[in-house]
């Protein structure tokens, strides 16, 4: 077995595993989740459509951001710990060029100093911090007020 062939096999195996992980992560968030219920209720109240997704995988999140312009007018994002580390998420947001609002349930500015940096926030036109889950509704209202819909 040559090095090139072994590398090809490993790459194919890794691609298959990554695709399976992405597919598993893309499954809908359970309806009974109270955060999901609150977001859906606020969207209904505002008369806007919403799709709620959650993943623990940075690459999946980047893929979703890159697909957003085909389906959505804006992005509301809580990149969680990726807030402070992911230039890939920043680059994806910049590349798609649609409005984005960053939401954090807690206030990262009141936490450790390393959490004060937000790469996603460098693109997002607004950041809502420390408002709990109602911050998502605030983000929806902001986008609806600014862009209509």
- Per run of 10 residues, the mean pLDDT along the chain (length 149 residues) is 58 54 53 81 91 93 96 95 96 97 92 91 97 94 91
Contacts for 127 with CB less than 8 Å, ≥ 6 apart: 101, 102, 103, 104, 118, 121
Q: What is the pLDDT of residue 64?
A: 96
126-129, strands of its sheet edge to edge: 75-77, 100-104, 126-129
Q: What distance in Å separates the CA atoms of residue 137 and residue 19, rounded to the nearest whole number?
A: 32
Separation of alpha carbons 23 and 100, rounded Å: 24
């Amino acid at each position: 077995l040559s090095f090139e062939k072994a590398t090809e096999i490993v790459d194919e195996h890794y691609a298959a595993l990554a695709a399976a992980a992405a597919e598993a992560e893309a499954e809908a968030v359970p309806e009974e989740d109270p955060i999901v219920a609150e977001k859906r209720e606020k969207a209904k109240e505002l008369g806007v459509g919403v799709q709620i997704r959650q993943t623990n995988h940075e690459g999946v999140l980047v893929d979703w951001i890159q697909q957003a312009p085909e389906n959505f007018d804006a992005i509301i994002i809580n990149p969680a710990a990726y807030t402070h580390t992911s230039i890939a998420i920043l680059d994806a947001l910049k590349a798609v060029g649609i409005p984005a609002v960053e939401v954090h349930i807690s206030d990262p500015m009141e936490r450790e100093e390393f959490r004060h940096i937000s790469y996603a926030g460098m693109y997002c036109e607004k950041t809502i911090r420390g408002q709990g889950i109602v911050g998502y509704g605030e983000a929806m209202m902001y986008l609806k007020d600014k862009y209509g819909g």
